Structures are given as structure tokens and as C-alpha cells.
Amino acid sequence: MKLWLTRPMPPEVEARAKESFDVDIRASNDPLSADEMRHALRSYDAVMPTLGDRFQADVFADVPDARCKLLANFGVGYNHIDAEAARAHGITVTNTPGAVTDATADIAMTLILMTARRAGEGERMVRAGRWAGWHPTQMLGLHVTGRTLGVIGMGRIGQAIARRCHFGFGMDIRYIARSEKSLGFKAIRDESLQDLAAASDIVVVAVPGSPETHHLIDAQVLGAMQPHAIFVNIARGDVVDEAALIAALQAGQIAGAGLDVYEFEPKVPEALIAMENVTLLPHLGTAALNVRTNMGMMVLDNVGAFANGDEPPNMV
């Protein structure tokens, strides 16, 4: 089994890959070019792609007799891969669900708290030497305890965020999902995005990126939110119409936003950077060594099962 890891991995993952497979490890952290993707399909039995590697229908069509039979994605989100086109070319796609859930929920909490309590703005003030001292009406933010959280996409990560907000902060939970969820706490499933937006103090997006969820959050949804409410996205950038989000923030339709992902990542619009009430993180959702190690181990589990002729545990 000739395997290509398309990015440097945590040491334990690289060590296990070298023990178990005939592995090449690409030194660059840049997304694969079209030439590199074609090389991947031609030259390896299994390839580990990740965010930014756009394995779309045209790439598969360019290599009709691909040696590669497995794209073992590093990450739960695989919207950069056209999984249907891969299947049509006899290529299996796997991902790494579960390993990412708690860490990404924690980043959602970071964004909720930083945005609600104006932590980024306050930090910038202190660092710039502009803080003149405490006073009773200084930098008043949104007190999150006891508020209503609206979760768009009540899957693994959405539920982990809801649990943290409900049990940790006494919040009421509302959600949107394609199917009814049986949760260990009370939660209202809304009929429409507008209903959820209107009823929530904090709205968090946790749906996968896909053609169906592209611009799911548009001017109408943002317009239905309350002026004191904050909006958080830890899912994928293009789930949100970024121009509509900027307009809603500039018009004061919502109080602030916390973002881990961007529509044209890694490009972050100047308009967002200019606004003090927006928290901007560089896609940190799973950025912790043991999480990235666990994700890499899941990739190798998928490759190992495939190599043994078994069904990989995390087929998409």
C-alpha cells in the first residue's frame, strides 16, 4: 500500500505511517495544485487529502485509470472533495468524525464568550495602552448565562456546543436539523431558520459545507436576528453569505460575530477586520496536538482497513 500524506503530521502519526505503509510525506502545508492532485491519483494507492485540496470532478476525469482507490481525508468536513465523482471513478472517501467534536465545540465557546464579552476588543485596548482604568459602565457586553442558544446543524459538534451552553451556562436550546434529535436535555426544534434566528440571543452554525448549505445563512436569516444577538460560525465559510454578514454588522442589525472560518479562506475581508465587535480566529477548531494526532490515527485506521480488504470505519 503506497500512501501519500499530503501534509506534515504530528510525530506519532508519521511514525505509525512509516511502520505500516510505504509512505511519502509532502513537506509543504500549501493546498495541492491540480498537477499534484493528478500525481496523487496516478502514483499512490491511498492519499490523505485535507482542507483546500479540491478533488473535484475534473481532476478525477483527468485520470480515468487512477491507481488511487482511497482518499482518506484528514478532517470531518470533506466539502473540498466531490465524493460522488470519486465514487463514480471507483475511489472510496473516508473522514475523521468524532475526533474533532469536543475541540471544535470548545472553539465555538471561545468565540461565543469572546464576542459576547468583547474580549478581543478589550485585549486590543490593553495592549495599545488605551485602558484608562475600570468604571461601572465600561465595555458592557452580553451576559451569556441564561440566554437562548440557536444551533443550526444539531450533529456531533452542534450537540457538544448545546451541552456546554445548557449545562455550563444554563441556556435554553433551540435547533435546526434535518431530523428530530433525542437529546439528554430540553431543546426546541424550530421549523425555519428565521424562527430560530428571531428567538435566539446567540446563533451558532454547525452544518457541513455542501451545495445544499451554500449561503444557508443569508440576509433574511441575519435580518431576523435581534439587534443584541451575536452570530458564530465554526462550520464552513461558504455556509454564510459573507457580504450579507458584513452588511448586517455594519447596519447594527446584530451586535457582533465570532468566526473561525471564512467564505474565501484564508482571505478575511478588510470590512470584518475593521469591526471591533467581530472576533476573528484562523480556523482553530481542531488545533490541539492530541486532537490532530487522533485525527491522523483515524486516517491511518481507515487506510489500514482498506489495505486489509475491510470496509474502512469512516466511509462518507
- Catalytic residue IDs: 236, 265, 283
Residue closer to ligand NAP by CB (options 63, 76) is 76
- 182 near ligand NAP, judged by CB under 6 A: no
CB of 274 to ligand NAP, least distance (A): 23
d(Cα 7, Cα 32) in Å, to the nearest integer? 10
Q: 241 pairs with which residues across the strands? A: none
Burial of 198 (0-12, 13-18, 19+ CB in 10 A): middle
Q: Does 80 bind ligand NAP (CB under 6 A)?
A: no
Tell whether residue 285 is a contact of ligand NAP (CB under 6 A): yes
Using the minimum distance from each CB to ligand NAP, give the nearer residue, 3 or 239. Answer: 239
Among 27-35, 147-155, 242-250, 300-308, which window interacts with ligand NAP (CB under 6 A)? 147-155
User: Quick check: 179 binds ligand NAP (CB under 6 A)?
Assistant: yes
What is the total count of residues that contact ligand NAP (CB under 6 A)? 30
Q: Among candidates 153, 279, 139, 299, which has minimal Cα distance to 212? A: 153
| Cα–Cα distance, 111 to 119 (Å, whole number) | 10
Rounded to an integer, what distance in angstroms lies between the CA atom of residue 285 and that of residue 161? Answer: 12
Q: Which CB sits closer to ligand NAP, 202 or 235? A: 235
Beta bridge partners of 279: 258
Classified as helix, coil or strand, 287 is coil
DSSP state of 96: -
Which residue lies nearer to ligand NAP by CB, 41 or 204?
204
Binding ligand NAP (rule: CB under 6 A), the pick from 39, 163, 189, 283 is 283
* Beta carbons of 121 and 279 less than 8 angstroms apart: no
143 contacts 165 by C-beta, under 8 angstroms: no
**CB count, 10 Å around CB of 10?**
16
Determine contact, residues 170/146, Cβ cutoff 8 Å.
yes
* Contact string 200-239 vs ligand NAP (x = CB under 6 A): ------xxxx--xx--------------------xxx---
Q: For residue 73, give the nearest of 91, 90, 89, 93 by alpha carbon.
A: 93
Q: Which of 49, 120, 153, 296 binds ligand NAP (CB under 6 A)?
A: 153
- Per CB under 6 A, the list member of 241, 260, 300, 306 interacting with ligand NAP is 260
Determine if 290 is a binding residue for ligand NAP (CB under 6 A): no
State how far Cα 206 lies from the chain centre: 7
Q: Is 258 in the site for ligand NAP (CB under 6 A)?
A: no
**Near ligand NAP by CB under 6 A: residue from 3, 13, 40, 76:** 76
For ligand NAP, the binding residues (CB under 6 A) are 76-77, 97, 100-101, 104, 153-158, 176-179, 206-209, 212-213, 234-236, 260-261, 283, 285-286
